Amino acid sequence: MKIHFILCSFMVVLRHISVALGAAIAAVGTALFLALNLFYKRRIWTPESKYCTIKEEQVERSEKQVLVLGLDGAGKSSVLQGLSGARRCCRPTRGFNFVSLHTPGCQLDFLEIGGGEDLRNYWMDYLTRTHVLVYVVDSSDRARLPRAKDELHRLLKADIGLPVVVLGNKQDKANACSIPELREALSLSAVDDQRKVFLLAAQQGSDGLNRTCDLQDVLLTLV
C-alpha cells in the first residue's frame, strides 16, 4: 500500500509539472508572437495584393526593343551616346552596338546595326523582333539623301505596321537640310497617313553629347 501511495503521489507531481511546463511554453509563445507583431509588420496576403505584386513584377520586367538603323556615318552611335549620357569616342559601328535605357514605365533596349553596305543585308532580319524603328539620317550629307530615302522606304515596305522615328541628325552643320527639306527629300509625305512616322531634329550640344528633340518622350508613347 505504501508503495502504491508513493507512486500515486509521484504521478500527481509529474502531472503538475507537465501542466506548469505547458503553461510556460504557451506564455513564451504568446510573448514571442506579440513581440514579432510589435516590431515587424505582418504581411497579409489577399488575392488583390497578390495581383498587384504580379503586375508590379511584370512592369519591372517590361522591355521594349528599339532598332536603330541608318547609313554609315549618319551618327547612330552618337545618338545612343546622347541618350545614355556616356562620354566616349564614337567610331563607325562595324557590327552591332547595344544601349539599355531605364525609364519609369519600361526598359528601352536600343540595338544599333552598322550602316555599311555589307551590313544592310542584315537589317530585315531584326525588324520582326523590334517594337520601334529609329532611322538616323545625316542632314548635312545631301549627296546621299536619295540612298537614305531608298533604304528607309525599303524598311517601311518590309513591315507596314512598325512605328518609325526618323532623326534628322547633324542639324548644327552649316549645310544641313532643314526639317521641311528632309521631309521632302525622304518622301515622307507619301507614307500612308495611318502609319506612325515621326520626324525629329538632332544635333550635337555644347557638351559634346548628341541632343535629340523629344526622342525619349516619343518612344515612350509608341511602346
58 inside domain:
no
Q: What is the pTM of this model?
A: 0.69
| 27 lies in some domain | no
Which of 123, 73, 74 shows the shortest CA–CA distance to 96? 123
Average pLDDT over residues 110-129: 90
Asked if residue 41 belongs to a domain, the reply is no
Q: How far is CA 130 from CA 22, 41, 78, 110, 134, in A?
A: 66, 43, 21, 9, 10
Q: Is residue 216 a part of any domain in this protein?
A: yes
User: Please, what is the average pLDDT of the chain?
Assistant: 75
CA 28 to chain centre: 50
Residue 163 belongs to some domain of the structure: yes
| 8 within some domain | no
pLDDT per position as a tens digit, 72-104: 999 998 888 888 766 555 555 567 888 888 887
Q: What's the structural domain count of the chain?
A: 1
pLDDT at 212 (0 to 100): 74
What is the distance between the alpha carbons of residues 38 and 20, in angstroms, rounded to a whole number? 27
Copy the grid coordinates of residue 69: 538603323
Confidence of residue 193 (pLDDT cuts 50, 70, 90): confident
Domain that holds residue 118: 63-222
Q: Do 163 and 222 meet the contact criterion of CB atoms below 8 Å apart?
A: yes
pLDDT value of position 51: 34
User: Is residue 16 a part of any domain in this protein?
Assistant: no
Listed residue (56, 37, 33, 53) closest to 45, CA to CA: 53
CATH number, domain of 129, equals: 3.40.50.300
Q: Give mean pLDDT, residues 144-156.
A: 96
Tell me whether residue 36 is in a domain: no
